[in-house]
């Protein structure tokens, strides 16, 4: 039996389905397998900035968490502790709180910090690791755009939510002979749109990796009409943009530590279609619906495996690692090597070829068809 350890766990960035399953797995593995104790840092790393914002996690705290969406610890994608905004004489100043986090980590008598999050969270994790905190990262994002893992939990549920929406929109689109546009999340990667479009039987799928041609889209809608298809379903990723144009954004990034807010391409697309042909269009922006609710079984299982494996890394003293999925196995990679890379859809890869082989329009000329 290894010596008793005190583990802190935080959830950062956007919420997603499966976060509670990770927390549950860490607490149960720590308690039953190793006899360690776990505390939760509330709202990201707020508990290590203000030590009153920590929560003891024992078995009773994680009962019933497996099917629950969100995170009982709270999360945030604002207030990067390495670039933390404070008001000084009426002006916003940014300060680095990493030394304070290191100090509080020691005062809480912690042995290791597990940080669950996407690329931004893991970049912070790596900086804290360089400051001397033993860190284990667990990869998480509904966008499935982290380079070093084959899949992230939350993605499968987000896709299923989108597929359910597309299924429902099919019937109303067919009844009213409309073009239904479904805007989905994913930021700069098209994984959610591509998977949801294929799983939901969409006619047109537009992703950031393939800038779309409006003429091709119009041709596809008219082609369906001429063949007796009096409606069309379009799935568009929030980061998709027209060939020769720019992304539609709601808010620009204020600094290198901020993120621009995407969204609005669905309504833009609806207006452009209306300028070219006489057809009714309707837009559904799924937005945060994709992040909420009960995780599907795959995400519950993957999150549980990630949490358990993180504890195994702690037992080995193998810190500075990110827990990932490779094939059927849970593995780890060095945090340093996982930074600054996004996994994008290959515009000429097998998944795209599958879509175009069944005559799904991706906003470009389909060279696979005779």
Angle CA(21)–CA(43)–CA(86) in degrees, nearest 5?
160
Residue 136 CA to residue 323 CA, distance in Å, equals 8
DSSP secondary structure code for residue 212 in this structure: B
> By the 8 A CB rule, do 78 and 121 touch?
no
DSSP string, 213-269: -HHHHHHHHHHHHHTT---EEEEEETT--BTTS---EEE--SSTTS--EE--HHHHH
Q: Which residues are catalytic?
A: 143
Query: Would you tell me how many other CB atoms lie within 10 Å of the CB of residue 116?
Result: 33
Asked if residue 8 lies in contact with residue 112, where contact means CB atoms within 8 angstroms, the answer is yes
| Calpha distance 42→157 (Å, rounded) | 24
Question: For residue 254, what is the DSSP state?
Answer: S
Per the CB < 8 A criterion, the answer to whether 87 and 70 are in contact is no
DSSP state of 118: S
Q: How far apart are CA 342 and CA 143, in angstroms?
A: 10
* Residues 6+ away with beta carbon under 8 Å from 123: 339, 340
8 Å CB contact between 279 and 273: yes
Is the Cα dihedral 23, 29, 31, 32 positive or negative? Answer: positive
* Residues 250, 264 contacting (CB under 8 angstroms): yes
């Amino acid at each position: 039996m290894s010596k008793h350890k005190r583990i802190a766990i935080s959830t950062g960035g956007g919420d997603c389905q499966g976060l509670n399953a990770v927390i549950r797995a860490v607490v149960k593995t720590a308690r039953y397998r190793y006899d360690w104790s776990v505390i939760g840092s509330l709202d990201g790393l707020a508990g290590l900035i203000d030590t009153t914002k920590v929560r003891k996690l024992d078995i009773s705290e994680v009962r019933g968490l497996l099917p629950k969406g969100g995170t009982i610890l709270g999360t945030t994608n604002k207030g990067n502790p390495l670039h933390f905004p404070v008001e000084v004489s009426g002006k916003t100043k940014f300060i680095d709180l990493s030394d304070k986090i290191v100090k509080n980590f020691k005062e809480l008598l912690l042995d290791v910090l597990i940080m669950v999050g996407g690329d931004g969270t893991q970049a912070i994790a790596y900086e804290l690791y360089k400051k001397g905190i033993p860190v284990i990262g667990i990869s998480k994002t509904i966008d499935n755009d982290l380079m070093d893992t084959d899949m992230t939990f939350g993605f499968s549920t987000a896709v299923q939510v989108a597929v359910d929406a597309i299924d429902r929109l099919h019937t109303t689109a067919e009844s009213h002979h409309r073009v239904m546009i479904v805007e989905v999340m994913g930021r700069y990667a098209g994984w959610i749109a591509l998977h949801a479009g294929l799983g939901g039987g969409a006619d047109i799928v537009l992703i950031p990796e393939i800038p779309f041609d409006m003429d091709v889209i119009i041709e596809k809608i008219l082609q369906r009409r001429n063949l007796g298809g009096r409606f069309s379903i379009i799935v568009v990723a929030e980061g998709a943009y027209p060939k020769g144009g720019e992304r539609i954004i709601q808010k620009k990034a204020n600094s290198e530590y901020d993120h621009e807010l995407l969204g609005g391409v669905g309504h833009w697309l609806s207006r452009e279609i209306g300028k070219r042909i006489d057809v009714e269009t309707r837009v559904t922006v799924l937005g945060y619906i994709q992040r909420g609710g009960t995780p599907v079984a795959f995400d519950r299982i993957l999150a549980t495996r990630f949490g358990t494996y993180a504890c195994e890394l702690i037992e080995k003293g193998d810190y500075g690692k990110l827990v990932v999925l490779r094939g059927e196995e849970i593995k780890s990679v060095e945090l340093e090597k996982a930074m600054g890379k996004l996994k994008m859809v290959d515009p000429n890869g097998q998944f795209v070829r599958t879509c175009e082989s069944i005559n799904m329009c991706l906003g470009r000329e389909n060279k696979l068809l005779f």
